[in-house]
Structure 1
Amino acid sequence: MTTNNVIRLKQLVADPEAYIKEMIQLHPGSNHNKEAGSFIIQNDIINSALRYRWLEEGLFLFCFESFSPIDAHFEFVENPSAEYFSIIFYFTESSSHTPFYVKTTEGIYSDDQCALFFNGNLNAEIFLKAHHKAFGLRVDLHHNWLKKNIQIDTLPKDSVFLNIFTKNQTSYTHTNCRSYISPIQSICDQVKEGKSPFTNLLIKKEVFQLIIDYIQDLNKISISISEKNDTSTLSDLSLQNALKYMKNNIYEKFPGSDFLAEKCGLSESNFSKKFKHTFHVNASTYYKELQMKEAVQLLNLGKRVKFVAHKLGYQNVASFGRAFKLHFGKSPASSVE
């Protein structure tokens, strides 16, 4: 469970009942109050509280808060047969720069806040630095619940929500989600301390509004991003296989445009033209940028420069340092706060 002062946890995605079972198995000594729907975990490596509610058929709610004196690494394991979709809001209470980062097949995101919407095909990792309090909320929505409560066929065709619902896209992550903190804190407070005879109704009302607001925001984001040709909602679907390959093999050498073109079913010249038109750089430069972003994340996690250089395939620290400085204008060591 822990390695080199890092707590490592795995979780099968998009399955609320499996999540509860995993928590019981991972923390046999935890205080689990099934009637209240809560887990309280307190030991030398983690201080965490998880509270859950089955709001109605097909709709699960989890509220969480945690703190660990060591780095935490959470791995989300894909679950292709899952019939649930998940929305997660994740915040840290520290003003530190990039206290955690999220890595998915769609990209790498580093901040003190994020919102993540995904289906069972998600394969992702979250890294949280030591001594940072984290809190948030997760909503699991069954496929049938969504079809019953949302008119799917009326959503924009380029909607992020629709792409994830139809599993043409695995997930979407964005880090500009501070506007959700107030309603999320209100929901979590109700789950934790609500005494009113109407507590369940009040929670459902606020969760319903949160889902509506978030899906509406996803639709706005999808439209504005597609206009800008952002990588998160790629307008030219023929390039997706190349992007996924590069992001999933970021520690390898650049495979070559001919290889990536074959992955996409395109000629090399057509692939290069499409890629340059979409991202305004060639595939080799794009891949180098991905590697440099990964280098920053690893350094911010406390990894040594030598480790990062070797991880990214550089022959020595000096060559990595030159590439890093050329890209960011400063050395790897000086980039870490």
Structure 2
Amino acid sequence: MNKFKIGIDIGGTKIAYGLFNDKKEIVYRHRASTDPTTTIEKFVRDTVNDIEFILKENQLTKEHLQGIGMGFPSYVDFEQGLVVFTSNMINLNHFYARDTFQEYFPNSQILVDNDTNLAAIAEHRYGAGKNLKNFLYTALSTGIGSGFIINNDIFRGDYGGAGESGHMIINPEKGIQCGCENNGCFMSFASGSMIVKHIANELRNGRQSIIAEMVGGDFEKITAEHLNLAFTQGDPLAEQMLDQIGYYIGLYVYNMFMSLNFNTYIFGGGMVNFGEPLLERIQKSFDHFNHQKDQIIHLKKAELGNDFGIIGAVELLD
């Protein structure tokens, strides 16, 4: 009997599923929307239904399923399979995901990790981090998180939470409150979910921008895609917001550089769609703070596209 594996990448806006055969080839993809208000019970029910749908669509049964790897946008205790907290899905806190899904799929290996750890593993084995001994992978998306590859292995820390770097606090007296329940973390200044709030605040205070026209005056509908489109049209507010993101992520890279002295920083996630304009701003900000001018860093875009999460989830099962 052929053995199949499923990789699940749970993001802030979507959940991606990939069915892999025993040659590690993706043979089927499925996607669902993320409900940020979902409860543990509903999340489990919906995920189990999606997995069963994938099996049925491919004429498979649970007996064909060797393993399920899951990546959460969360602080995850890998050893316990525990989702400690999730800033963008606040009702999934203290969720023993591995043991819960093991009850539904008792003959399959179930492993749960932070989504950026999985992306780092995937990029290390197949993408922009291949052949690198050390690097930092950072997801710039709805949230900000990182995965540390140190001496060719993922580093999780003593409690599994290494890489929750978006919640490092840089100015607790300023910034919008994040889902981590603090003000002034990197996410509060530069993540996709928070930068739109900064834009909305500017517009409410009378700032002129074509972004307001794009959403018909409904500022709650603003997304990072509106920011990107406005930037390409030379909108001053959009340029200011991209400057803000670049400044804080450059500062973030500098702090990581001073802590770990890595020379390679790989970026993935939806915000990377800004391309070189964003990377140039990150580099400029880093250069402003870095006085070790002979120590060069490399900023790289992730290479695995939208599949990095499901690839990393399946690699976790090896």
TM-score, structure 2 normalization = 0.28
Q: Rg: which structure is higher?
A: 1
Larger RCO of the pair (alpha carbons < 8 Å, separation 6+): 2
Question: When the two structures are superposed, what TM-score results if normalisation uses the length of structure 1?
Answer: 0.27
